[in-house]
């Protein structure tokens, strides 16, 4: 008899409403992701996602970025040390960035190789950084989308895993386009986490594989 594999334990990091966190937590509870949410961590004490996590019965922690400011700047080393303390204290082995609005340092990322994912609202490598919906509208692009990727030291530059595309419609403004992208996020982020937690998606010296084959380009979700 072989031992049953231990389910992955997720630390989900948020800064805002936590809609992706909710989608991930529900997928874990439904058995679609072979994992459990070990903790939801926010850098903002007033983040709406904290109450949503509590309503779901999930453990929460706050690492208030405001408490780590020195001379007007974030003391990143001490802030990240406390993040790491919370991750380890809750026994998490995967870090899921779900609207976490902080750039993490290379040393922090290096402690979680191939075990940290992020979701970004654009078809990377297009439009890294902020205000992607406005950028797409200003450029007159015919389509927009969302990318799940491994986190590396390069901002929004880690290997892409899966993308979903959405059309840009004539009547779109930022709110309408954002809502359409959010709906796609809630579909593909749980999918990518399921692949990683089940072992289908692996990280081999900086090169991701899916089902044993090199992932040369992101999976396109239709």
* 165-189 tens-digit pLDDT: 999 999 999 999 999 999 999 999 9
Query: Catalytic: 120?
Result: yes
Whether 211 is in a domain gets the answer no
pLDDT tens by residue, 87-120: 999 999 999 999 999 999 999 999 999 999 999 9
Whether 1 is in a domain gets the answer no
Mean pLDDT of 120-124: 98
Whether 112 is in a domain gets the answer yes
Alpha carbon separation from 53 to 56, 85, 103, 148, 183 (Å, rounded) = 5, 20, 23, 22, 19
Instruction: Residue 106: give the domain boundaries.
Output: 8-202
Q: Per-residue b/e over 111-148, b at no fewer than 16 CB within 10 Å?
A: ebebbbbbbbbbbbeebeeeebbeebbeeebeebbbbb
Whether 57 is in a domain gets the answer yes
Whether 157 is in a domain gets the answer yes
Domain count along the chain: 1
Whether 220 is in a domain gets the answer no
Q: Name the pTM for this structure.
A: 0.95
Among the listed residues 78, 112, 120, 149, the single catalytic one is 120
pLDDT tens by residue, 43-71: 999 999 999 999 999 999 999 999 999 88
Whether 24 is in a domain gets the answer yes
Q: Which CATH number goes with the domain that contains 89?
A: 3.40.50.170
Whether 219 is in a domain gets the answer no
């Amino acid at each position: 008899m072989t031992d049953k594999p231990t389910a992955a334990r997720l630390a989900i990091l948020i800064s805002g409403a936590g809609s992706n966190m909710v989608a991930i937590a529900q997928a874990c509870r439904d058995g679609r992701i072979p994992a459990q949410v070990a903790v939801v961590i926010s850098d903002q004490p007033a983040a709406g996602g904290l109450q949503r996590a509590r309503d779901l019965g999930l453990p929460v922690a706050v690492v208030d970025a405001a408490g780590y400011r020195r001379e007007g700047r974030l003391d990143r080393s001490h802030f990240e040390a406390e993040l790491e303390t919370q991750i380890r204290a809750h026994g998490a082995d995967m870090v899921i960035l779900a609207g976490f609005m902080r750039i993490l340092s290379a040393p922090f990322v290096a402690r979680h190789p191939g075990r940290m994912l992020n979701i970004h609202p654009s078809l990377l490598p297009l439009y890294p950084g902020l205000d992607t919906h406005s950028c797409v509208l200003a450029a007159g692009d015919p389509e927009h989308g969302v990318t799940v990727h491994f986190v590396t030291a390069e901002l929004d530059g880690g290997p892409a895993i899966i993308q979903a595309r959405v059309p840009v419609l004539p009547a779109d403004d930022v709110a309408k386009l954002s809502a359409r992208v959010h709906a796609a996020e809630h579909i593909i982020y749980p999918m990518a986490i399921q692949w990683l937690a089940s072992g289908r998606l692996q990280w081999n010296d900086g090169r991701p594989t899916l089902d044993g084959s090199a992932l040369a380009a992101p999976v396109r979700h239709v």
